[in-house]
Structure 1
Amino acid sequence: MSVRVFANQEVQDLLTAAANLNSDGGNARAKQITHRLLSDLFKAIDDLDMTPDEIWAGVNYFNKLGQDGEAALLAAGLGLEKYLDIRMDAADKQAEMDGGTPRTIEGPLYVEGAPVRDGVSKIDIDADADAGPLVIRGTVRGLDGKPIAGAVVECWHANSKGFYSHFDPTGAQSAFNLRGAVRTGGDGTYEFRTLMPVGYGCPPQGSTQRLLNALGRHGNRPAHVHFFVTGDGLRKLTTQINIEGDPLIWDDFAYATREDLIPPVVEKTGGAALGLKEDAYKEIEFNFVLTPLVGGKDNQLVNRLRATAEA
């Protein structure tokens, strides 16, 4: 059509009415955000000369995205979650808050309610013939270098098929398989005894992969392990480590890789004494550094819908 109507008073009045800007009712912040996003959309329709067919294809896509339950997955794949990290990194720099372990995205597959154990947790509940044993251990410290007692390190990752418990489409995994939490003692140490994960790909027939296909992008992630780390009087850390040597480390569709989050993988023996499935195992040592509250508040807490379950 090659017409431009965004600046017309009729359109501006429509935007004001749609966001209910001139009413005392509703939530002021919700109205502000809705007006801005709707304005940006209307202007983009003008600028790109979008057709009605394209608009309704988009509406139908979002319907299907909701049916697939993939909105959070798409947020990672389009860089939205990474962008939030970039903003928080910039805020830390502005506040001269540095020295902590780098953050990176949470992803969509956390489940609240994993059992918390003291010091050490063996989290490979289910046998997995295709995964070798792995120990992840380290120390939680503050910026002063002192170990933090009573910190809680939560861990979750995929199995050798690239599936997470509670989200496994095969239904093969037990509740909280490859998920756990450790409370540190006076020395600040934690240890997870588990199995080596692999990366995963978006559901091939899902809405996220459908859009990625249209963009000419893959939907795969390298092997990685997620963490939440918390401690009294300290900011919550959301991060993950990549498994060294994975070919997709620098081609992660979710943009989560950071240089300081690729620890070395070391070959070890003595796994039988640790209760591992084999005597030869791999070990990753990764130490966390937590940062203090800002003005007495944890500005890293993110309220989002997360799955919950009971162990």
Structure 2
Amino acid sequence: MTVAISHSPEVQAFFAKAAGVGNDQGNPRLKQIVLRILQDSAKLIEDLAISDDEFWTAVDYLNRLGSRNEAGLLMAGLGLEHFLDLLSDARDSQAGHTGGTPRTIEGPLYVAGAPLCEGEARLDDGRDPGQPMLLEGQVLDLAGQPLAGAIVDVWHANTQGLYSYFDSGQSAYNLRRRIVTDAQGRYRAYSIVPSGYGCPADGPTQACLDQLGRHGQRPAHIHFFISAPGYRHLTTQINLAGDAYLWDDFAHATRDGLVGEVERLEGGVARVVFDFCLQPAAHADDEQRSQRPRAMQTA
């Protein structure tokens, strides 16, 4: 027989006190959120008959997740980061904001302050003997007109699936640059073809995925922030065509309209052409990237 007490007045009052509701100190918004977490957690414990051992195993898992800095990775793997995109899409549709390049997840590996370059940039430091890549395209408005002076903030992994700053073996800002588009809205980057990668095999995210019967692999991909005065900031990424995990991305980031075709040029160079189309900003806040915590906040 299921015993349920979480909705009793006594327990509800207890949770309200634990969340600081009723005192005039602290943050009212946080109190509201914490109270809901307590209420919903208690209902889950009751509804699924969570044992004490299961509860404390979950607490231990959260400790391990934090110690490995993998909370962001798990949010992507469980689809919650993708859900935020779907919710934003629905809100945009309701508000009449349509068209343009689709958004998709940022992921946890952005680093602010990459060198700013005019028109074109070399992304790699020449130490990784990967396949050369030419990445180019335009930034446009909804009418297809080029946006001069837009900023293409681009970052991607090396051939080992590792990112600078998070991998001590790479130079500062390797495979990270900000490129200002030219008068025709064009950007160009010389780099190496990134590798897909998986969650750390010994980490808590992969341990969770194992229990769910899922892999933790990502296809080769390239991240972007695209911004221009008067236009909505775009957070997106392109996954490279031909990758075995293109439509089976553990992070659920692949979307229609975000697949980069790879053209093989003479000399073994891989050419990827991708244009970005921005929506006009309704207000100044639309032009800004999210204020989520990141590794560095120098720009």
| Amino acid in the other structure paired with 2:272 | I
Gaps of 5+ in 1: 270-278
User: Quick one: distance in 1 between partners of 2:289 and 2:195?
Assistant: 28
SS at match of 1:193: strand
Match of 1:297 in 2: 285
TM-score w.r.t. length of structure 1: 0.92
| Amino acid in the other structure paired with 2:183 | G
1:299 positional shift: 7.3
SS at match of 1:307: coil
Match of 2:86 in 1: 86
1:211 positional shift: 1.2
SS at match of 2:135: strand
Residue identity over aligned pairs, in percent, reads 48
- Alignment check: 8 A CA contact 1:150 1:183 kept: yes
Summarize the Cα distance change of 1:41–1:96 in structure 2 as closer, same or farther, 3 Å threshold. Answer: same
| Amino acid in the other structure paired with 1:105 | I
| Amino acid in the other structure paired with 1:57 | T
Match of 1:15 in 2: 15
Q: Deviations over 1:132-178 (max 9, x none)?
A: 1111100001112211111000111111111111112xx32111111
Match of 2:184 in 1: 187
1:296 positional shift: 4.2
- Alignment check: 8 A CA contact 1:155 1:226 kept: yes
Superposed structure 1 runs of 4+ greater than 3 Å apart: none
How do 1:99-178 residues align onto structure 2 when only pairs under 5 Å count?
Answer: 99-129=99-129, 131-168=130-167, 171-178=168-175
User: Quick one: distance in 1 between partners of 2:120 and 2:246?
Assistant: 28
Q: Deviations over 1:97-117 (max 9, x none)?
A: 111100000001111111010
SS at match of 1:234: coil
Q: Deviations over 1:16-71 (max 9, x none)?
A: 11112122222111111111111110000000010111111111111111111111
- Alignment check: 8 A CA contact 2:228 2:287 kept: no
- Alignment check: 8 A CA contact 1:126 1:177 kept: no
How do 1:228-267 residues align onto structure 2 when only pairs under 5 Å count?
Answer: 228-267=225-264
Match of 2:51 in 1: 51
Summarize the Cα distance change of 1:86–1:23 in structure 2 as closer, same or farther, 3 Å threshold. Answer: same
User: Quick one: distance in 2 between partners of 1:57 and 1:137?
Assistant: 48
Give the count of matched residue pairs: 299
TM-score w.r.t. length of structure 2: 0.96
Match of 1:208 in 2: 205
